Amino acid sequence: MDEKSKNDIIKILTDKKRYDLVALMMSIFEEIDSDFEYDSPEEPVEEYYERDSIEEDTAFGVTEEGFHFLD
């Protein structure tokens, strides 16, 4: 979650004088930020997507009315 969204939530709760929820949300934000880890793939992403792919025929045509269709 980005900082702007977090600040907006805290501002709304503070305006409504819900300081108990502000404290709860702050602890939730800390847990979310501390637990998040990016997965590091063992192989490059390009190889992952190209591994079992087959080349597709993307030939298309256009009708007299202007509609596109695959050949």
Q: Where do the domains of the chain lie?
A: 3-54
Please name the amino acid found at residue 60.
F
State the average pLDDT for the chain.
82
Indicate whether 24 pLDDT > 90. Answer: yes
Rounded CA separation 10/20 (Å): 11
Indicate whether 57 pLDDT > 80. Answer: no
**What is the structure's pLDDT at 43?**
65
pTM over 0.75: no
Indicate whether 53 pLDDT > 90. Answer: no
